[in-house]
Amino acid sequence: MTTQKSVQNTQKPQKQRKAVALISGGLDSLLAAKVVQEQGVHVEGINFFTGFCVEGHTHAIRKKDKDKQKRNNALWVAEQLGIKLHIIDISEEYKDIVLNPKHGYGANLNPCLDCKIFMVNQAQAWAWAEENGFDFIITGEVIGQRPKSQRKETMPIIARESGAEDRLLRPLCAQNLMPTLPEREGWVNREELYDFSGRSRKPQFELAKKFGFEDYAQPAGGCCFLTDANYSKKLADLWDARGERRYELDDIMLLKVGRHIRPKKNFKLIVSREEGENNFLRGYKKQFTSIHTVSHGGPLTLLDGEFNKDDIKLAAQIAARYSGGKHADHVTVQVENYQGSSFVMDIEPMPAEDVKQEWHV
């Protein structure tokens, strides 16, 4: 085995090693890739689209967010680093991770440990990476950073179960872990890696400053909707109402949009909150029954589930409560089914106090 020491002694030039960095778009993966890049390693990035990524979607949908910068943070990170970025759609395969996590969930419906194993495995198994002679994988994990997946005892599980074994390098906390192959072989200098641990973000902020990175993304709970308590509650509600745990990409997109109100177990309303959401929900009119107010300005509402005539009337009364006619005696609504046939009805808007708190998902 070539040790780091012997390489330093002989001063033999090494061939440039290549590493694939898992890029989420957050600060940690940016720093991890940068640390390795600084050591002369050729780095390229991979970013995975699970369907639950916070990136872009809600900003794209909501008009009130229109003024915010709509950059994709993973792309921004790649550009800062000057590396290529390969984005992989894993939303279909990812369902099994969300529905059946072998290692269980975190605080919400976040299967962080299984997710990380899956992603590293994808990076490892990715034929392109091997064909192009990549030597190892980099992640921005930090011991103790995330309560479910990033603990000292879970680090070996990820390395082992992903199949990456000791070709998985975590530059930000490497000094707290056993030396990996890239360190033992002298591809990277362990002394120039880091020993971050715990939930404090201070060491990362200092390192970012050292590298001159500013304006990086810092989404709370990482870049995934599944770590969000409100989102997880809506997903759990969907499974409960359907009596089975399954979802389609459209379901998880719609959970990001509008007010979700379930007055009865068999159906729920998705009520848009502003013009951007209205436009987005309009794209689903061929898949759902929809309600919109005719006599007054108001939101577009989709009905999800199974419902009878009385249920539609109840839904229309709730929808009217969010329209410009909420204080009117009567509001006229148009109800249209997914095939395009529609009818008009007059209803009394439901008083605000009658929309029960527990209906809000």
User: Could you tell me which residues come within 8 angstroms of residue 119 by beta carbon, excluding any fewer than 6 positions away?
Assistant: 22, 48, 90
Told to check if 286 binds another protein by CB under 8 A, we report no
Q: Which CB sits closer to another protein, 30 or 314?
A: 30
Stretch that binds another protein, among 81-89, 224-232, 329-337, 338-346 (CB under 8 A): 81-89
Distances (CA, A) of 260 to 227, 349, 357, 358, 359: 19, 18, 12, 11, 8
Least Å from the CB of residue 124 to another protein: 20
Kindly identify the residues of this chain, within the stretch 86-145, that bind another protein according to CB under 8 A. 86-89
* 57 scored as a contact of another protein (CB under 8 A): yes
Q: Which amino acid is at 249?
A: L
Direct distance between the N- and C-terminal alpha carbons of the chain, in angstroms, rounded to an integer: 58
Residue 259: strand pairing partners? 271
Shortest distance in whole angstroms from residue 273 CB to another protein: 17
274 near another protein (CB under 8 A): no
Q: Of 19, 30, 85, 217, which lies in the binding site for another protein, with binding defined by CB under 8 A? A: 85
7 versus 87: smaller Cβ distance to another protein:
87
Residue 83 and residue 21 in contact, taking contact as beta carbons nearer than 8 Å: yes
Near another protein by CB under 8 A: residue from 78, 109, 281, 312 = 78
Q: CA Rg, the chain, in Å?
A: 25
Size of the site for another protein (CB under 8 A): 29
Selected from 2, 60, 195, 210, the binder of another protein by CB under 8 A is 60
Task: Tell the burial category of 151 from Cβ atoms under 10 Å away from its Cβ (0-12, 13-18, 19+).
Answer: middle
Token pair of 239 as six digits: 């499974």
Buried b (16+ CB within 10 A) or exposed e, 28-44: bbbbbbbbbbebebebb
| Whole-angstrom distance, CA of residue 112 vs CA of residue 119 | 10
Of the candidate spans 26-34, 79-87, 264-272, 300-308, the one that interacts with another protein by CB under 8 A turns out to be 79-87
With CB under 8 A as the contact rule, the residue among 7, 75, 157, 181 that binds another protein is 75
Q: Which of 33, 43, 53, 254 binds another protein (CB under 8 A)?
A: 53
Strand 85-89 relative to strand 42-49, pairing? parallel
Q: Which is nearer to another protein, 50 or 154 (CB)?
A: 50
Q: How far is the CB of 134 from another protein (least distance, A)?
A: 16
If the CB atoms of residues 187 and 288 are measured against another protein, the closer one turns out to be 288
User: Which residue of 253, 294, 328, 355 would you call a contact of another protein, by CB under 8 A?
Assistant: 253
Strand partners, 138: 21, 169
Contact residues: another protein, CB under 8 A: 47, 49, 53, 55-57, 59-61, 66, 69-72, 74-76, 78-79, 82-89, 253, 283
